């Protein structure tokens, strides 16, 4: 069963600097992207970077990403069992 991974962008204010969830996930379920898309030949302002779940099928349900987040911005739940 695939998880639902929710990241609260208001709480996750600076994912580019923090990256704790990205570094702790052994299976690289989370990824760093932007909320504005790619702008050719332009630097993206750091405020537009966001963390999202990208490889849901690799999630083991270990909850390390939830535990390491200093702002409690990440929630992981499984449809049949609810939040773990």
**Residue 73: per-residue pLDDT:** 97
**Residue 80: per-residue pLDDT:** 66
Of all helices (H) and strands (E), which one includes residue 15?
Answer: helix 15-18
CATH of the domain at 54: 3.30.70.20
Q: Please give the residue range of the domain that contains residue 53.
A: 3-83
Report the Cα 79 to chain-centroid distance in Å.
18
- Domains contained in the chain, number: 1
**Residue 45: per-residue pLDDT:** 86
- Tens-digit pLDDT string for the chain (84 aa): 889 999 999 999 899 999 999 999 999 999 998 888 777 788 888 888 999 999 999 999 999 999 999 999 999 998 764 444
Please tell me the pTM assigned to this model. Answer: 0.81
């Amino acid at each position: 069963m695939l998880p639902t991974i929710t990241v609260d962008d208001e709480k996750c204010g600076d994912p580019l600097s923090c990256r704790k969830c990205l570094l702790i996930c052994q299976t690289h379920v989370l990824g760093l992207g932007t909320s504005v898309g790619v702008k050719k030949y332009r630097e993206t302002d750091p405020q537009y970077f966001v963390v999202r779940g990208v490889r849901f099928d690799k999630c083991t349900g270990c909850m390390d990403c939830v535990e390491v987040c200093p702002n409690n911005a990440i929630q992981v739940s499984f449809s049949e069992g609810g939040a773990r």
